Every structure is written in structure tokens, then in C-alpha cells.
Amino acid sequence: MIWMMHLLGEKYLVIGKKDLNSMTIKIIVTGGTFDKEYNPLNGQLFFNGTHVPEMLRLGRSRLHVHIKTIMMIDSLSMTNSDRKKIVKECQD
């Protein structure tokens, strides 16, 4: 039982409990705030890797997920080319 809802112009999937056991959710990692780390020596923020698997583990998620990192950049640095990569990954 899967429903598509529209809320304030955005699309949301509402999924029944039975469906969660048989589907895999694809998480596309692009960097951003969740994945930044702080270097105390120079005060800079940097990317070292994604924290998404750890966040899911700490949240005790039992969902089937496939995590794919396609870039590690700040959204302010994102180009049209980067956005096209994200769209392509969503469509695959």
C-alpha cells in the first residue's frame, strides 16, 4: 500500500508497514551539513566521509537502505553540473 501525497507543492510517499519490509530506500549522499567535520587546529570545516550510516545506526533504523555517495560538497558550491548528477542518480 503506497500513496503519493502532495503537500504545499511537494511530493511525499506514504508507505504502509507491510511495504517497508519488502523495499529498499536509496539514500543519495551529496555532502552538506551532516557530513562536515571541524578541524580544531585551523578552524576549518571539511568533508572526510558520510555520517549517514552512523546516524541510521544511532537512530536504530531497521529499514533496508542503499547508501550511495555521489559527491561531498557544500550546497553553496553546487553547480548545475552537480545538480544534473543528482537528477540522473534519482532517475536510475
List, for residues 65-77, the tens digit of each pLDDT value: 899 999 998 888 8
What predicted TM-score, i.e. pTM, was given to this entire model? Answer: 0.67
pLDDT band at 14 (very low <50, low <70, confident <90, very high): low
Residue 60 lies in a domain: yes
What's the chain's average pLDDT?
80
Domain count for the chain = 1
pLDDT band at 58 (very low <50, low <70, confident <90, very high): very high
Grid coordinates of 42: 585551523
Residue 14 lies in a domain: no
Go through 1-38 and write b for each residue having 16 or more CB atoms within 10 A of its CB, e for each that does not: eeeeeeeeeeeeeeeeeeeeeeeeeeebbbbbeebeee
Residue 65 lies in a domain: yes
pLDDT value of position 75: 85
Residue 82 lies in a domain: no
Q: Cα–Cα distance between 75 and 57 in angstroms, integer?
A: 25
Residue 17 lies in a domain: no
pLDDT value of position 24: 84
Q: Cα–Cα distance between 73 and 30 in angstroms, integer?
A: 6
Q: Residue 62 is part of which domain span?
A: 22-77
Q: Would you tell me how many other CB atoms lie within 10 Å of the CB of residue 77?
A: 9
pLDDT value of position 60: 92
Residue 35 lies in a domain: yes
- pLDDT reading at 37 higher than 50: yes
